[in-house]
Chains A and B, each alone.
Chain A
């Protein structure tokens, strides 16, 4: 039982390049999330999904797209990377039965955009 995994762990991009971050969970969770963590800002929600085939915008969605074609995977895409997207990205998942659910986090992806 690996929990929540993220690939890649590190990535350096040039401005304008694109990339996709992959999140996978093996807990059969319904809800999945993408957050970004910046110093002094805490974690901010980018997009989330409440089930296979569904996605919704969070607090800071601009410049990102997501897809959830399979229940266990949640992809985060950057179409044209900008230096402001330099951050640590965390994926999380939860059972989705209510507000008391624990969110389980992946190890993070450190992205630098030059």
Chain B
């Protein structure tokens, strides 16, 4: 089954700093990749997803991710974070009817 790994477990940034969160998937072939966000006390919401076509995917709230097949990566980026981006971020891959999630990255943005 496909799986993903997230390398940054806790990230602390100042407002206006740039963000990049790493996500690697397990093996090649056709992949459907997702980034979800969970704001404090809330449920998971979709940020963006990749299933084919343009490897640079744009999502909500200024987030984007780049699918790099040669590196098995799908990193999440944002050029300038805001305090309201404080949340937990999950990368996920579709595998056999369901999503397999990474362990998550907790992002704290300080004023």
- Given A100-B49, A102-B46, A42–B97 Cβ distance below 8 Å? no
B99 at the A interface (CB under 8 A): yes
B103 touches A41 (CB 8 A): yes
Q: Does A33 contact B (CB under 8 A)?
A: yes
- Mask: chain B, 87-111; 1 = CB below 8 Å from A; 0 = not: 0001000100111111110000000
Chain A count of residues within 8 A CB distance of the other chain: 24
From known contacts A31-B97, A42-B102, infer whether A99 and B43 are also in contact, taking CB-CB under 8 Å: no
Give A contacts to B, CB under 8 Å.
Answer: 31, 33, 35, 40-45, 48, 50, 56, 58, 90, 92, 98-100, 102-103, 105-108
Contact B103 A100 (CB under 8 A): no
Interface string of B14-43 (1 = CB under 8 A from A): 000000000000000010101000000011
